[in-house]
Structure 1
């Protein structure tokens, strides 16, 4: 099913098209490989086919970094994202005005220091900073179900009312 440009909602903060999709990279440490663009309707079935959904999340971490190279992380304005660990993988999940991104890798830096296989945009000497961490208490499938039941992919990004920090807070608390 094709879609016209007029049917794609725009973010109120930047005018960028919010996709209402999950970008999933199952091998974020690889320079090559597939990534997936998954709709809310496809979320549970597609991820169940791509990953071991029975994996238990053993730890969750909340990270932040400046929105640009000109900004300090001590400011209120920062990007927030979640990194979690299972016995086999490191994962990250985050939301911005494009949609929700989930990355998986055996290499921690590939999900913490990178976003969609590119270095995160941070200032020199003031990059990614861990804010807090806790033990996990859920499985990957429970997280996927939570994303679907909470309609997270369809909730449009809004700089003031529903941004990356709100999303990260909700995911951290759930895990």
Structure 2
């Protein structure tokens, strides 16, 4: 056990699946458990093949947060500024850009061997919604008046109905009370 080989070579390349290649280089933490007072490394090879050496990928949150801000957010901001604040609440206009941002955060997480979604992603998107979508309606659609061809009758008909009802009351009161 005194060799100077790396842990993956010494333990039979346990967990080597190629996922260690990511943007900031491999960041693996080899975790050995202790069972019954014995170190797992002292157990038989058959026992080791039962995955009692766990390869845990360490997500470096500082790197992940910086990358999603520098890479993903900068692209999103450029797209949203080009779109203009008037259309930020129009889901049909922002859906593509928002989807690209979501995919970007997931891709960076995958490359850094981080779980997705995670706490940083949640905080990132909450901050994003506070900045860009704070004044949007809960349905996600920009509220606007209907066209005049639709709005006009909805205003005119009740007004005309009220005037007609008032005229009918006046007319009935002038006729006399002979008819009951």
TM-score range, shorter chain: under 0.3
Higher strand share: 1
Higher helix share: 2
Larger radius of gyration: 2
TM-score normalised by structure 1 residue count: 0.23
TM-score normalised by structure 2 residue count: 0.23
Q: Which has the higher contact order (CA 8 A, sep 6+)?
A: 1
